[in-house]
Amino acid sequence: LDAGAMVALAKQWKTVPARYHCEAGATDGTIREIPSGKSLFLTIETTSCAGTDTEVNYLEHVQAVITLNSTRRGDVELFLRSPMGTRSMILSSRPNDEDSHDGFTKWPFMTTHPWAEYPRGKWSLEARFANGAERHNRGFLKEWTLMLHGTRDAPYSDLPVTDPHSKLAIVKKAHEDKKKM
């Protein structure tokens, strides 16, 4: 290892901007049943804490903090959709999860799929039973809180776009378009 080269690189190192945590919204506390053979959709409209000390404009990761119960927890699937349309599976079916008592209580499900996206707008949570499992189950979503983690300023401003179809290119363009509005 070249210690001199490492020190020289460290002197030029550019850190990412400060990270913030924004509680972006929550459901109203109404218990909602996951319909048999269909999906339950809930939405949260958020400003991503704009104008506060915890404002997030560039996502690092997102958490959906969820409370739900089901007659068979392993059959529940959850998906989160960002305002830019990125759909993330945050809970897949689990054949060996037989729980029918504990469920999930304020369980933080996390995704990095909407990395660097602009978080303001409508987020959607989809809860459903895995194919074939819905006729044997009842499930209730009791609570959903949306947590946004990221930066106020662009963390990638010095990175060049090498592929116009890359996630980096897409989010840079989206943020530029937002600034023009």
Strands (E) across the chain are located at 19-26, 32-34, 40-46, 58-70, 76-81, 87-91, 104-111, 121-129, 139-151
Closest alpha carbon to 167 in 57, 44, 58, 43: 58
State which fold the 22-153+162-180 domain adopts.
Jelly Rolls (2.60.120)
d(CA 31, CA 96): 26
Q: Over 80: is that where the pLDDT of 177 sits?
A: yes
Q: How far apart are CA 62 and CA 113, in angstroms?
A: 9
**Digit-coded pLDDT (tens) for 109-129:** 999 999 999 999 999 999 999
**What is d(CA 66, CA 40) in angstroms, rounded to the nearest whole number?**
14
pTM for the predicted model, two decimal places:
0.88
Residue 134 pLDDT grade (very low, low, confident, very high; cuts 50, 70, 90): low
For 28-87, the pLDDT digits (tens) are: 999 999 998 899 999 999 999 999 999 999 999 999 999 999 999 999 999 999 999 999
Are 109 and 91 spatial neighbours (Cβ–Cβ below 8 Å)? yes
Identify the band that residue 133 occupies on the pLDDT scale cut at 50, 70 and 90: low
Write down the domain spans for the chain.
22-153+162-180
Radius of gyration of the chain (CA): 20
> Tell me, what DSSP letter sits at residue 159?
P
